[in-house]
Structure formats: structure tokens, C-alpha cells
Structure 1
Amino acid sequence: MQNIWRTILDGLTYQDLAGKRQPRAFAVLSLIVLFLMTLVGGYIFLSRFRLMRVVEAEPVPVSVISEPGIEPTAIPPTITAHEPGCPTDSNQWSLAEPVVPQNYKIIQPACVYAGLEKTVAWALAIRNGYSRAEATRALGFDEMPMQRLDQVTILADTGPLDVPVSFIPPDPDFTEWRVNGRGEASVTYALRGCFRTSSIVGNRLEVWGGEYPVICVVIEDAENTNVVYLLGEHLYTSPAIPTRSFLLFGYSGDGLWSWLGTQSDPQVGIDDPAKFANDRLTTATLYDSRLWDMKWWKGQYGLEVQSLPANWRDKTDETELQAILSGLNVYVEGGGS
């Protein structure tokens, strides 16, 4: 054992002319690197701890005592596209690196996300029994916050990249529910980060992302095993595979964001819900955000899941599906508005 320690000591130090042991250069460098890694690790841990406390914070219940015989009036939350005083000019935003540097960034100030959240809430509404028109009215939009695009240019590791996207049928009366076997809502969203659709090349600005100066990527974890479709008198229930998809939202100005479509690839099957839930929370925390789930949706916007048709499980007639598809085809081909 003594020989082993002497070998290690000789490897890390040497004797100078005075016979004193001095650390070798690589040993000093290793200690410096280890010290810096410890500092960085501690900073990441503390930052994540602080963010997790914010994300997981529970609202404090407040008891309200009303006079006998007087029913309290429910006051719906005010729905706005952006907070007063929050910059709506994207040139005034900064896109900061997350704690762990990524291709996608964090928008600052954070109040900018209010408009994005409102459009995400619209997406949740149409997944939970609101027709497109009903969701648009409920959230105070003048028109549906979505676009019909075939592709969107995103920022990849190698630079701008055109990716194919799909869009939801924009028929204003089309209604759907994405539910599990018990008929419960099963869709959750989380921010994946944002990027500018322009680059500085030399001394000039090169715009490559079209009319949306900033695009955000949002995770959609759809853990539903059924999709219920309703159009007019036609009702059809389809089986579904729990899937993670990536949605793209573009900033259209004045605090408003548009859903540009869902990336055709990647789409990942959710085979371990607990693992995906943990990853979802970690990702949202990394980008200084929160989970956009049903609890958030109900509390923030005062919305409720619309009731499923009583006989939804039995509606598997393919004739009904064809009737729905025929009705939607007008809008898919661009004939509707």
C-alpha cells in the first residue's frame, strides 16, 4: 500500500533542487478545472432549485366570508395578449441562454410569454371539447390564432432548416376531445425554447424565417388513447397512440402569437408516462417557464373541459368518419375561411 501511495505521489509531484516536493503542472491544471466544474455544478443546482420552487409553487387558499343570503359572484380572469408595459416590439427582447446552453433560447422579459400562453390555451381548448369558434370567442381572439402552412423554417444545429408541418382543420364548428380510456383530458404542453428567424451576416441582417421574427417550440404530450370527433350531427371515436409532438408558434406582433403547425418529425411514442412527465417539467424549468397543463388552463383562464357526448365510446361507424372528413375537406383544400 505504501508503494502505491508513493507511486501516486511521484506522479503528481516532483522534487526540486532543494529537495522539496512541488506539484506538477498538469496536477495544478486538473485542480483548477475541478474547482471550476464544482462552481458551475453548484450554480446549476442552485438555479434549478430556485426555478423548481417557482414552478411547483402551490397557490395559497384564501377564505372569503360573504354576508348571509348573498351569493358571491364569480369574476372570470381577465384575458389579455400581453401585460401592460411589456414590450411588443420583438427587437426590444433579448434571447438569453438557458442554464445549460442550447440551440433554443429564453425570451426576456418573461412577460412576453403571456401572449404565447394565450395561444397555447387556445390549443388546449380545442383539444378539450371547444369548437374552433368557441375557443376563439372564449379567449378573446378576433380570429383563430393559427396558420395553414406546409413548412416552417426553424433553427437547426447546422443553421436554418425547412421542416414540413401539419395543421389542424380550421372548420370553425369542428370539435374534438383527446381523452384516455376513462374519458379524462390527457394533453399537456411545455415550452421547448425560442429563436429569432434572422441572423447577422457581416454587417447586415439576413432574415430567413418569413414574417415571424421569433418562433417558439412547444412540446405537446398527448397521452390520450382516444380522439372523439364531432362535426354537425356526425360523431366518431378513433383509437390513438400516446405521442409527443413539437408545435411551432410564431410571433405576429402586438403581443399575439400564431400556431404555425406541428412538426411532422420527430414524433415520439410515450411509452413511459412518468419519464416523459419528468422530462417535460425539467424542460419547462430549463426555459424559465411552467407546465401548461389542465390545472394551469383552468386556473389561468377559467375554462372547463366540455362534456363528452354520452355515447362517445360506441361511435366507431366508418360512415360517420367519412362524413366528417368530407365536411373538413373544404377547409383543408383552402375553400373555407
Structure 2
Amino acid sequence: MADEILSVRDVVKHYPLTKGVLFQHEVGRVKAVDGVSFELRKGETLGLVGESGCGKSTLAKLLMGVERPTSGSVHFEDRDVFSLSRAELRRSRRRMQLVMQDPYTSLNPRMTVGDIVGEPFAVHGDPEGGRGRRVRELLEIVGLDPDHVNRYPHQFSGGQRQRIGIARALALRPDVIICDEPVSALDVSVQAQVMNLLADLQREFGLSYVFIAHDLAVVRHISDRVAVMYLGKIVEIGDEEQIYDHPTHPYTQALLSAVPVPDPTKRTGRIVLEGDVPSPTDPPSGCRFRTRCWKAEEICASEEPALEVRAGSDHPSACHFAADSGRP
């Protein structure tokens, strides 16, 4: 599509498991990300949700080029991130930045806020008008007092620290920001403030977000489209109405059944999944969700369902029985 800014194609990331001290040999692999594909459009927010350990943060590192994939490609506009030289990759990072999960550990406690927000300029060169003026502008943009440039991170609350992280990500005026669970460590009221800030910045600067979270309610508030991830794979992707009002994959249905609903007249039965999440070192054959799925049949163990639009549905789902809305 003409408005695509990020295109992810069949990205795989396996970590080898080795045994031995002197003569190490591979005995298995952790399949953290195992064939993920999606597109991000200009000015769009794509929410990425799933349980802890499903590969969301690994995918964020792959999108940023911090980790190299086992296979697959990530195209930023028309160039594959993994084919770039070190110098080209550094230049591309001016346009794609990361907001990390924990505002308490993602900021260097020995650096002042001015140094933290201005650190990207130390790598990529000072902006017009000087670094100091730009840092003060960025603090004001994210709702902080510019006169606090000489304070240290411990002198700020959790929400304010996350605003500092957002200001640092905005420093180089990027086109895409990867938000790796940016509100999961914050109180609910502060979560709303940070998400409203991200939405305001998107409208003002035309940003595109990949917003990673495990809270479906948070993702619904900010996302244009939502991708649901399970054990290294995307199992369903669609817009807000498709995912929240007409989910087709059993895993998505189970996640949504656990979301608190403020109106008691609209509450539906909770779907309790049996068993534990399988190990990514030895995922089930066929459909990875079949060991916990109430719809599972013989075909689920022998044939892996592709992420595609199926009969009776209007958005891609990786389930043989996506059109069946039956509940346990």
C-alpha cells in the first residue's frame, strides 16, 4: 500500500540452547518469534497484545534492529532494516525510536533530565538553535517544566519519568515510535494521562505507533488496529470493531472474556483456559493453541492454520474454525 511505512514479513527469531562447557553443542531452540507478518501505515497505531512470554518485546527489538532475525525481513518504507550497514542503520534510527517499559530502569540515575533527553543529539548531532533550547522545548511538549532540566530521575514520579522517556524518543523527530508496554508499570490514572499524551503527539506530529501491551482495555483506547499474539505468532488481526465486537480466534475470545465490563447487564461468561502456556522451546504441532482450546479437533494437531480471512469472517485469523463463534 502507498501509505505503508513499516512492513514486517515472516520474521523469525530463534535463540539456540547449548549444552557443555568446553565443547558446546546445540540441543534445542527457543522459538521466541516464529513467523510474524504485519504492516503499519502512516499515522496509524497498531496494538500488539498477548500474554507475557509470547514474544512481544523480542519483536520490538527486531523492529528496531537491536536483534537480528533468524529469517524474515523488516522494511522501513522501501529498505530492509537488516540489509543496512551500521552507518545506515544509525541514520535510520533517527526516524524510528523506542519507548521502553519501565520508567524506573530505562533512565540513567546518574544523568540529569537534560542530559537524558539530549542524549540522542550526542549521537546524531546537535539541532538548529542548540541542544539546550531543543531539550527545554521537548520537556514542555510532554508536559514537564523546562526549568527541571538539572534534576535527576529519582526526583520525578513514575508518570513523569515516562514522559521523560517519550521526550527522548521525540528528540530526533521520528516517524515511527515502538512503545513496549509504556504504561504497564504505572497507576491507572497515570496510564490514561500518558496515553492521552501519546494520542496528542500523534495528531500533532503525524506519528505512527506500534503499541505493545498485555491489557486489551488499554490497547482499545489508543489503537486503530489490533494484532493478537500467542507463543511467537500472530493469531488474529483486525480493526477495533472486528477484534472487540466480533473476535473469531478462541484465544482472542478468551482474553476478551477476562476484561472487566462496567455495565453488569452486558457481562458474558468468563472463558477459563485449561493448562499452562506451552514452552517456546517445544511448541505443540499444528495449531499452537490447540492444547488449551475447547474447539480443537484432529486437524488442529496435524495442520498449522494460516493467518488468513476465512469463510464467515471479515478479517485474518489463524484458526481452522474461525467462523464458528461457539463458546465452551
Query: Same fold judged by TM-score > 0.5?
Result: no
Greater C-alpha Rg: 1
TM-score by length of 1: 0.23
TM-score by length of 2: 0.23
